[in-house]
Structure 1
Amino acid sequence: MKKVMMSFLCLFVLAACGNGQNNSNKAIEGNGGEPVNVQPDKKGVTEGRLKPSLVETKREDNTYNFEYTVENQTDKSIHLTFNSGQKFDYILRNEAGEILKRGSEGKFFTQAIIEQDLEAGARLSFDIQLKDLAPGNYRLEAWLTAGSEETDYKELLKFTIE
């Protein structure tokens, strides 16, 4: 009986830890890096309805800019729960598959739970800037850290520097 009561007490305390904030935005822009838990809203929208994309936006001198976007392509709002200040991550690989850069490496993120609704047609957009790359073939992988694995919402872009 004591174990049941302690379990109930623990669940009650954990449930009370939410911050109760709900921020809705039509378009959410950012340039950080953060794991995001995407959960279905109460109307049954599933995670599989977020569409990722990754495009190169600009090249100047030896600076390469990319944009990683995840768009809600449903007709319903999707509830997002951010478990920290990180919303996405990326890896840059050379043609041999070796990791040259990981976006979150050496960074610290706030440890706060933030809840936000991604409205129908809205998107999350993140800028990735890479500098001083030698000539060669590269593979940039970016993903929303919302799912249970790194492969959730992953998008891949191959590019060459001559």
Structure 2
Amino acid sequence: MKKLWLILLIGMIAAMTISGCGTADEQIDNNVGGNIDTGYETSTDNGEDKDEIANEMLSTTIQLKDGDYIFSLKNNSDKEIELTFSSSQEYEYVINDSEGNHIYTYSMDKMFAMMMKMKTLAPEEEYNINIDVKEVLATLEKGVYTLEIWPVAAETEGLTSTIEIVVD
């Protein structure tokens, strides 16, 4: 009798574990390519609208220097701007082919630490990030592609920069 109860208990634990794993995979699949609600309000502590900050106080650029892509986020204002990141990821990028087909997303094969991270940009300060796409470009066929990069801070919604890439 004890063996029957033990087998029944093990079976129930296994069934709960399997059903729980299936639910998690389903949730992950549903979020691929979708928008994730970060829960941030649409204003900063000083009452300014996020879009106003992104469009008037910050700018982004991409430059190609010595084979490396440099993504820059610049504070164009005379005030400090505090940026809020909800993980260790500071930027996102996508590569599209000449027809606009999505080829690669930076975060699709990465994991980032879940944490609150703050970065303060002083007036006129420029924050430069080296974007290494060499490994991805090596896998692409010859052609023309676009690299679109944007910061993922809550206050930078709508900021993006795009550059054309020619793979020979």
TM-score between both structures, scaled by the size of structure 1: 0.64
Change in Cα spacing, 1:146 to 1:82, as seen in structure 2 (3 Å) is: closer
Q: CA contact under 8 A between 2:148 and 2:161: conserved in structure 1?
A: yes
Aligned residues: percent identity? 21
2:162 counterpart of 1:156? yes
Q: Which runs of 5+ in 1 are unaligned?
A: 1-34, 60-64
TM-score normalised by the chain length of structure 2 = 0.62
The structure carrying a bigger strand percent of its residues is: 1
CA–CA distance in structure 1, aligned partners of residues 87 and 61 of structure 2:
23
CA distance in 2, matches of 1:71, 1:121: 7
State whether structure 2 residue 135 is matched by structure 1 residue 128.
no
Choose between structure 1 and 2: higher helix proportion. Answer: 2
Which stretches of structure 1, 4 residues or more, deviate above 2 A after TM superposition?
37-48, 146-149
Question: Equivalents in 1 of 2:126, 2:45: separation in Å?
Answer: 16
Q: Which runs of 5+ in 2 are unaligned?
A: 1-37
- Structure-2 residue corresponding to 1:146: 153
Note if 1:76 corresponds to 2:79: yes
Alignment of 1:10-159 (within 5 A): 40=44, 42=46, 46-48=53-55, 49-59=57-67, 65-131=68-134, 132=138, 133-147=140-154, 152-159=158-165
**Greater relative contact order (Cα 8 A, min sep 6): structure 1 or 2?**
1
Contact 2:70-2:130 at 8 Å conserved across structures: yes
Q: Which moved more, 1:125-134 or 1:78-87?
A: 125-134
Check conservation: 1:90, 1:143, Cα contact below 8 A. yes
Structure index of larger Rg: 2
**Equivalent residue letter for 2:87:** S
- How far off is 1:135 after superposition? 2.0
Letter in 2 for 1:68: F
